[in-house]
Amino acid sequence: MSKDKTTVLDAKTIEIYEEAGDQHMLTTIDTPMRADAFDLSDDEKVEKIQNHFKEIMDILGLDLTDDSLKGTPYRVAKMYVKEIFGGLNPANKPKMALFDNKYQYNEMLVEKNIVLQSTCEHHFLPIYGKAHVAYISSGRVIGLSKINRLVQHFAKRPQVQERLTIQILEDLKKALETEDVAVYIDAKHMCVSTRGIKDNASSTITSAYSGAFKNENTRKEFLTAIHSQQDY
C-alpha cells in the first residue's frame, strides 16, 4: 500500500510534536480556530467526522459490521460536535444577563466546586476536576448558575488548562463589568495518567487573578473559602 507523503513525519517533527504534548505547551490565549470554522453546519460536520472516524476504526482493524461497533462512528461524531466540543461554537455560549445589585452586596461572592470536564488538545483525552470562581460586584450581578454554564462552555473545547483558566477569567470580567475576578482550577489529565509518565495521583492547579484579587489578603480570603470543608 502506497503512503501519502504528506502524512509521513520526519524524526525532528515527531520530536517537536511529542515535546509540545508532554510539556502541555500553548501558543495562544484564544482557542486556535480557522476563519472558515463555521462554514459547515453541525450536521455536516457530524457526517464528515463520522466518515473519517469510520476510516480510523477500519485502519485499526475493527470489524465495522459488528452490531456493537457499526454505530460508533456516528456516535463519536455527534459527541464531538454537539457535546464535548460544543463550546467551540460561539452560538452555544450562554447568555449572561446582568441584574442590579439591589441588596448592595459588595463583598466577595464565591462559586466553588464547579464540576469541570474538558479535553486535552494534545492527545484528545479527558481533563476532569473542579473550578472555583469568585467576583466582587461593581454594581451588577448575574445568576449563580450562569457562572457554572460559562465554565462548562469554555471547557467544552480542546483545551490547555492554562488557557481555559484565563479564558474564564477574561470572559467573566467582561460579563460582570468588573476587574475583580478570580479563577482557580484543580484538575487531573488522563494524558498524564494513562500514557507517558502514567501518574494517576497528581493533579494540575492553575489560577488567574485580577483587580482586587491581586491583593494578598483578598486572594487569601478566596483561597481559604475554596479549601474549606462543608458538610451538607
Identity of the residue numbered 223: L
pLDDT at 227: 94
Residues 104 and 144 in one domain: yes
Specify the pTM: 0.86
Cβ 130 vs Cβ 194: under 8 Å: no
Residues 107 and 180 in one domain: yes
Counting the structural domains of the chain, the total is: 2
24 noted as active-site residue: no
Residues 111 and 198 in one domain: yes
52 noted as active-site residue: no
* Residue among 57, 152, 139 at smallest CA distance from 103: 139
216 noted as active-site residue: no
Residues 79 and 177 in one domain: no
Query: Phi first, then psi: what are they for 144, rounded to 5°?
Result: -60, -40
Q: Tell me which residue range forms the domain holding 78.
A: 5-92
Rounded CA gap, 190 and 123, in Å? 9
Please give the sequence-ordered ranges of beta strands (E in DSSP) within 37-142, or none if there are none.
99-100, 108-120, 126-136, 140-141
Average pLDDT over residues 205-225: 97
Task: Judge whether 195 lies within some domain.
Answer: yes
Average pLDDT over residues 38-67: 97
From 152, 153, 159, 189, active-site residue: 189
- Give me the DSSP letters along 148-169: HHHHHHHHSSEE-HHHHHHHHH
55 noted as active-site residue: no
Residue 132 corresponds to which cell in the numbers above? 472555583
Residues 78 and 110 in one domain: no
pLDDT at 5: 47
From 122, 132, 159, 167, active-site residue: 122
Average pLDDT over residues 30-54: 96
In the structure, what pLDDT confidence band is assigned to residue 146 with cuts at 50, 70 and 90?
Answer: very high
From 111, 123, 162, 170, active-site residue: 123
Residue 104's CATH number: 3.30.1130.10
